[in-house]
Structure 1
Amino acid sequence: MNELSQPAVAALRRAQDTIIEHCIDRISSAHSWYRTLPEAPRRQIEKVARLGVTMFVDMVDNPTTAVAPSRIFSVAPAALTGTITLEQTLSLVRSVLDVVVEEAPQAVPEDMRDRVTILVLTFGRDVGFAAAEVYARVAEARGAWDARLESVAVDAMLHDSPEDATTRAGSAGWSGSGPVVAIAAEAVLDALAVSRLRRHCRQVAADCLVSVRSGSVIIILGGSLSSQAPGETPERALDRVAGQVAERLDGPAVIGPVVAGVAQAGRSLRSALAGLHARAGWAQAPNPVHADDLLPERLLNGDKLAIEQISALVAAPLHAMGEPFEETVATYLALGRSLEATARTLFVHANTVRYRLGRVTEHIGWDATDARDGFILHMAVIVARLAAERED
């Protein structure tokens, strides 16, 4: 039996205030970080120490009454979860426990001292578990709220103005500037997988937003990167990091184009989502794949943004090279990629056709002699012709 006699309980009551004061003195002397806290948090922590000792004596006085150790922290939840860490809180508990273990047994008759020590250690163990539980609940609530803010920011990028998107992203913790990229993927992630994904994203990029939807996940990356190769531009480095993140996802993933900043993130995100919806049209698509590599499928799927992008990325640079190059590409693709037929139609030598096609590849990055690149170039030619027809 660990119950104490009434004289022992009365002795603890008399020693209670002294023990409390000694606990507060021990906290102040043993923890330098405590002395640097503002006065309000320090006073709240003192309340926790006082209540802890008082609850222990109450428990000893009436052992049949259930005591909830977590109630100790109800007097200062902000101080314990917003100002100091769980490790620091447990250090405070140990300091208070040390004082009570040293002094409480000395306050009671000698034959009761071992019982008091056992009661103190048991109560201290329960308080430690209660502290961990309090912090876990706060972390869970904070994580749920942060996830909600991130989802609201992503929705703003999709539907609201660039200014609103920037504001929402800031509310979700986005603090940097510089290029931004979006990733859209089909993936079913449980809470642990989402936590791991978010932690990895924050390890490789200063800013990130992760929004999990039904059967899909959206990731926005930006800010400074943890790794950037010498001579590598921030845009190229961010695209490389996005590819690494996308490879970790268990499902089809599409990487949007890198944009100048978070205000333009919606463009990258809309491209990535459109690519994800159209990805089935290209059975041989790599995984992950860039949204700009899915421009033909996006066009056929009714993506208006794809018209702008294929015009800007392909059609406009091709047109700027001059009529001979544009005509050579269009003719070569229309004639089934035949050098000889193209040369005869244009009344030039086949080597001239090769030269012009090579220059186009160097200048705009797509190779007309490649089946996939040729498909993209052919679509760009058609889009340009339709646009010219509308203007006439």
Structure 2
Amino acid sequence: MASRSSKQPGRPDGPTSGSGRALVPSDADRKALVGRLTATIGQMTTATLAAMDERHPWFGELDAEHRSWISVVAQGGIDGFVQWVADDPTVAFDPANVFAAAPRALTRNITLHQTVDLMRTTIAVVEEQVQLLAEEEDRPVLQTAIVHYSREVAFAAAEVYARAAEVRGAWDARMEALVVDSIVRAEADESMVSRASTLGWRSGSKVFVAVGHVHEHGEDAISALRRHASKMRLEVLIAVQGDRLVLVASGPDVSDEAASIAAVEELSDYFGPGHVVIGPLVEDLVDSPRSARAAVSGLRASDAWPEGGRALPATELLPERVLAGDGHARRALARDVFEPLGAAGGDLLETCVSFLDHGCSVEATARALFVHANTVRYRIKRIQDVTGYSPTDARDAYVLRLAITLGRLAAIAR
């Protein structure tokens, strides 16, 4: 056994301010005091648990297992006080050991506030019991000792919960990255939804995915993004994938595409330079890969249309996505633009092609089709009603021309 004069790692050679040896310099007197204090441990522990039950309603609501572990922590706190007073230089004392006996799960079921209540009550009861059980000459020293000891235990409790929060935060970040990766990789299923629910995802609203570049301030910008989204009543999942930032969002105020665009516009300052592309709204998280696929494809092709807005719906990038090789965009243009135009009848398809071929001139189109100019104007309005694109707008005309080409090619292939 090491002698009493041997030095322990991290222990000073002499007594420090506020230590047991500083309060009671004599080893013999301190040993005698510890002996008298040890004799009262059982009564102090019993009194502490009774006080917990009486003063804190949450303690009585715990199950038997958690009450038992709290009893162990309370007992450890009192034992630790006795050890602290003994201040044996050959025995290293760590106030964090008060919590060492309890399982790690306790920090997930007992809040930091409740732990502070636990330690405050334990210290208060020890102070009360000192007045009742200790020798009169021991009381002043023990009162001073309690003050110093309680401070050390408070810091130890904060450290325990800080470590638990750090571990939990790292676990949450990994889980969130896995959930977002599943969405982007189109591997979303009910198990993915279950993992998202462990992160607090509870939305019953529509979902959209927005993709942009990572802000130069990295994690600080992402933290600010989360706070701003919370103020907007948005539930979000966020992950960084290389140089791109993926945002999965949902909220009661996001009911249509215009609302999703407005939300991303408000949050766009937390993305890096360039476009932030917004995928279409889907009904729930399981369907979110469809939104993610469009957003990622749109971001990849967005540099081909630098004139587009900062927050840009993926549907406005259909031509660029087609030229970048997106088969879904190609089929969307043929299905949603060309086919309705042909099915509408009334020579709308022929009028659209002629109007584009004649430099978007109403009069030239009317002459080519042998109809009145007002008939051409009426058909142009019908084209916009059917497809959502107006041949008189340069950008829309580009979309219509490409959709007609793709639709004709698809028809040939069939």
Query: Please, what TM-score do these two structures have when normalized by structure 2?
Result: 0.84
Q: 1:160 to 1:185 in 2, by over 3 A?
A: closer
Deviation string, structure 1 residues 219-239 (Cα, Å, up to 9, x no partner): 2223x52x46xxxx5676556
Deviation string, structure 1 residues 289-308 (Cα, Å, up to 9, x no partner): 10111111111111112112
Whole-angstrom distance in 2 between the partners of 1:368 and 1:359: 11
For 1:316, the equivalent position in structure 2 comes to 339
For 2:242, the equivalent position in structure 1 comes to 214
SS at match of 2:245: strand
CA contact (8 A) 1:205 1:221 kept: no
Whole-angstrom distance in 1 between the partners of 2:357 and 2:83: 91
For 1:167, the equivalent position in structure 2 comes to 191
SS at match of 2:236: strand
Whole-angstrom distance in 2 between the partners of 1:137 and 1:313: 54
Which of 403, 407, 411 matches 1:384? 407
Question: Following superposition of structure 1 onto structure 2, how do residues 154-303 of structure 1 map, counting pairs within 5 Å?
Answer: 154-161=180-187, 164-173=188-197, 174-177=201-204, 179-188=206-215, 190-201=218-229, 204=232, 207-222=235-250, 225=252, 227=253, 233=255, 237=259, 240-246=262-268, 248-251=270-273, 252-303=275-326
**Alpha-carbon offset, residue 178 of structure 1:** 5.1
Q: 1:106 to 1:306 in 2, by over 3 A?
A: same
For 2:15, the equivalent position in structure 1 comes to none
In structure 1, the gaps of 5 or more residues are: none
Deviation string, structure 1 residues 235-283 (Cα, Å, up to 9, x no partner): 7655654554446434431100112333321111011001111111111
Q: 1:215 to 1:340 in 2, by over 3 A?
A: same
Task: Choose between structure 1 and 2: higher helix proportion.
Answer: 1
Whole-angstrom distance in 1 between the partners of 2:203 and 2:115: 32
Deviation string, structure 1 residues 27-65 (Cα, Å, up to 9, x no partner): 111100110111111111110000111011012112534
Which of 117, 128, 133 matches 2:143? 117
Which of 378, 394, 398 matches 1:371? 394
CA contact (8 A) 1:183 1:246 kept: no
Which of 107, 111, 126 matches 2:152? 126
**Alpha-carbon offset, residue 143 of structure 1:** 2.3
Report the more deviating stretch, 79-88 or 19-28: 79-88
For 1:16, the equivalent position in structure 2 comes to 41
Whole-angstrom distance in 2 between the partners of 1:235 and 1:296: 19
Report the more deviating stretch, 10-19 or 361-370: 361-370
Deviation string, structure 1 residues 84-115 (Cα, Å, up to 9, x no partner): 21111111111111112232365444454333
SS at match of 2:176: helix
In structure 2, the gaps of 5 or more residues are: 1-21
**Alpha-carbon offset, residue 180 of structure 1:** 2.1
CA contact (8 A) 1:274 1:303 kept: yes
CA contact (8 A) 2:261 2:312 kept: no
Q: Percent identity?
A: 34
**Alpha-carbon offset, residue 203 of structure 1:** 5.5
Whole-angstrom distance in 1 between the partners of 2:113 and 2:224: 22
Amino acid across the alignment from 1:35: G
For 2:31, the equivalent position in structure 1 comes to 6
SS at match of 1:212: strand
SS at match of 1:273: helix
SS at match of 1:11: helix
RMSD (CA atoms): 2.5
Amino acid across the alignment from 2:68: R
CA contact (8 A) 2:224 2:270 kept: no
SS at match of 1:283: coil
Query: Please, what TM-score do these two structures have when normalized by structure 1?
Result: 0.88
Amino acid across the alignment from 1:288: A
**Alpha-carbon offset, residue 369 of structure 1:** 1.3
Which of 362, 365, 371 matches 1:339? 362
CA contact (8 A) 2:355 2:362 kept: yes
Whole-angstrom distance in 2 between the partners of 1:200 and 1:84: 29
Q: 1:336 to 1:71 in 2, by over 3 A?
A: farther
Query: 2:55 matched to 1:33?
Result: no
Report the more deviating stretch, 373-382 or 64-73: 64-73
Deviation string, structure 1 residues 182-237 (Cα, Å, up to 9, x no partner): 11110135444434434544565575322222222112223x52x46xxxx56765
SS at match of 2:100: helix
Amino acid across the alignment from 1:184: V
SS at match of 1:75: coil
